[in-house]
Amino acid sequence: MRKIAMTALAAMAAANLWAIQGSITTDTETLVGDIKWQPRGKKYVVSVKKGSTMLDMERPLADVRSIDIPKPAGFDKAVEQVESGNGAAAVAVLAKIVADYRMLKWDKPAGRYLAQAYLAANQAQKAHDACLKIIQEDKSAAYSGDLAAAYWQSLLKLGKNEQLEGLVSKAISSGDRRASAAALVMRGDIVVAGCNDAPDGLRKALADGYMRVVLMYADAECVRERGEAMVKAASCFDKLGQAGRAEKLRAQAKTL
């Protein structure tokens, strides 16, 4: 009997039947209540209190413009661990957030840092697989948003260059400035990975990727991508024997 109960519990978790308090906004309304994601119907169900009763309001994914849900417990600490080089300690927490918040705002940010933790441990396939679980639900996550850059890094490490080039090109032409900036940084990464530090290759990475972001994406929404581009451009200038330009870029990056 206990085994059956546990099996049912696992099935509920897999189907994402857990509700999380938050709000969903469409073009015409904002619904506040307990939100569930239903993968089979590609829709959200929001349990809204009307007087003394609870009504389940269904909204298709295509109609939803934004979701507001409080940050999961443990997220900030896990991010700090990944960024400080201790990603292994954050894997379990991030994997749980990805599972618990499936299509509920925080799965993609958590997935990004989960993939980064795997990449830092030279586990590119695990990084790829972690991203792919999310992308299978939301195809746009492969070329825009929080997850895309980490997914691209896994593709680069695995040598899936044709697929990577397609996604980068899609991001650049998407009209999303953050996605475009991240894609240009990745374009520089692709060139650097294949040029063996040859001067022509380093200059191409700067011209086609990193410096385009530094010069053309100074707006506030692209701060993270611009900072990354500065650091990577500095590395290229070091290899080209231009230490002064490298140090200037690193100093700029620290002020962002």
Helices (H) and strands (E) in the chain, counts: 12, 5
CATH classification of 2-68 is 3.90.930, yes or no?
Answer: no
CB–CB of 202/195 below 8 Å? yes
> What percent of the chain is predicted at pLDDT more than 70?
93
Judged by average pLDDT, the poorest of 5-9, 183-187, 211-215 is: 5-9
Supply the Cα-derived Rg of the chain in whole angstroms: 21
Tell me whether residue 204 is exposed, middle or buried, using C-beta atoms within 10 angstroms of its C-beta: 0 to 12, 13 to 18, 19 or more: middle
Is 181's pLDDT higher than 90? yes
C-beta neighbour count of 96 within 10 angstroms: 15
**Beta 66-68 vs 43-50: how paired, if at all?**
unpaired
Closest by Cα among 163, 165, 232 to 202: 232
Is 4's pLDDT higher than 50? no
pLDDT of residue 8: 37
Q: Which is more confidently placed, 10 or 34? A: 34
CB–CB of 37/102 below 8 Å? yes
Q: What do you get for the CA distance between the two ends of the chain, in Å? A: 58
CB–CB of 74/91 below 8 Å? no
**What number of CA atoms fall less than 13 Å from residue 34's CA on the CB side?**
9
pLDDT of residue 227: 96
Length of the chain: 256
Interatomic CA distance for residues 36 and 43, integer angstroms = 9
